[in-house]
Amino acid sequence: MDVSTLERHALALPRKPLTLKDALLSVSDFRIDRRKKYPLYEILMIAVCAMVAGAKGPTDFERFGRLKLRLLKKFLPLQNGIPSHDTFRRVLGKLDPKRFNAALVKWLESVSDVTGDVISVDGKLLRRALTKDGKMPCIVSAYSKRSKLVMGQVKADEKSNEITAIPGLLDLLYLKGAIVTIDAAGCQKKIVKKIVKRGAGYVISLKGNQSTMHDEIRAFMQDPAFMKKFKKAKTVDKGHGRVETRTCWQTDDIGWFEDKDKWAGLRSVCMVESKVYDMATKETTRETRFFISSLPVDPKRALEAIRAHWGVEAMHWTLDMDFDEDRSRARTEDIAENLAMLRHVVINVLRLDKSLFGGISVKRKELTWDDDKLLKLMLAA
């Protein structure tokens, strides 16, 4: 089965929820028969289980496997024992990330409904996984506000190439009925067109990369004569010694914008002002941002979508703080991308689990200390 076929399968919601086991078993093995001493499914499941318990790469995967052999044999055949770190490294370096990703997308779409959900798309650099020409690969991910799952990912050569990677990610995901949020890098006509074609709405940040458009919308929305006609919504949050007030103005009065027909589905524009009052220093900082959207005027809903984009940034913080992703030096072939995918799998497995309480780091500690709970998690995944 080729990648395009896998991707087409990933676009149709399965009739019943799949398990992680179903997804990993569906990943085609690229190796010739005489090199298949260790089944691909077992290699990937050991890696996932090891990563749940704090492992970071191939050497850790082997050590974990040998120390936890008795535990692993309770849900894996392991007829030939535990693969060496070289085997883990070789397989993860050669495994086609597109096929791996397509299988995982199919699994995730079977356990979550994106209708009405906010799907945030953003890129993150793998700072130490430098390519041969010194570039830092960028993993562009899609994150669900409702389920807190990483719905899919693609790799760009570096952050500046995020624009070229986003359409491929959108093609892979089932988005009908969702709202897609992207930062200013995604404010491109072809990306907006792709979102609309996939049956989704959008709220996209606007900055200097579309300087003329940004300046025109800013001048219009900050004009006092027009502002009083816009609908607005406000939120106030207190905590950590700060009071943050966000106000969103939204209008569908865009007849003045000459290029409006070049932006597929464009229906409204938004202005969001954030004011943060520091209770210790008594200082207030302000930031004003502008957005284009396919949504009808409902500033409360628009503000919720804009705030939801913070979720993908928080997920990136989790990858660095809990998984040390920024310190990963894996760089041979496709290993960096596949390890990033495994980290996303672990986040998703932990998010889907309802038997443990606490955040990702708390759950991982408990699972590392308690083999019975780790076994229960892997059997249910």
pLDDT digits (tens, 9 = 90+) for 271-287: 999 999 999 999 999 99
Residues 28 and 101 in one domain: yes
Q: Is residue 346 part of a domain?
A: yes
When divided into structural domains, the chain yields a total of 2
Lowest mean pLDDT among 52-61, 105-114, 135-144: 135-144
Q: Is residue 301 part of a domain?
A: no
Mean pLDDT of 37-57: 97
Residue 358 φ/ψ region, left for φ over 0, alpha for ψ in the -120 to 50 degree band, beta for the rest? left
Instruction: Name the pLDDT band for 15 (thresholds 50, 70, 90).
Output: low
pLDDT in tens, 154-172: 988 665 578 889 999 999 9
Residues 85 and 14 in one domain: yes
Residue after which a domain boundary falls, among 246, 272, 296 = 296
Residues 207 and 287 in one domain: yes
Residues 264 and 348 in one domain: no
Q: Is residue 89 part of a domain?
A: yes
Mean pLDDT of 218-233: 95
Predicted structure pTM score: 0.89
Residues 12 and 98 in one domain: yes
Residues 346 and 248 in one domain: no
Q: Is residue 121 part of a domain?
A: no
Residues 283 and 353 in one domain: no
Residue after which a domain boundary falls, among 271, 296, 321 = 296
Q: Is residue 41 part of a domain?
A: yes
Q: Is residue 181 part of a domain?
A: no
Domain with 218, as residue range(s), is 202-296
Q: What is the pLDDT of residue 156?
A: 81
Q: Is residue 232 part of a domain?
A: yes
Lowest mean pLDDT among 59-73, 178-192, 313-327: 313-327
Instruction: Name the pLDDT band for 194 (thresholds 50, 70, 90).
Output: very high
Q: Is residue 361 part of a domain?
A: yes
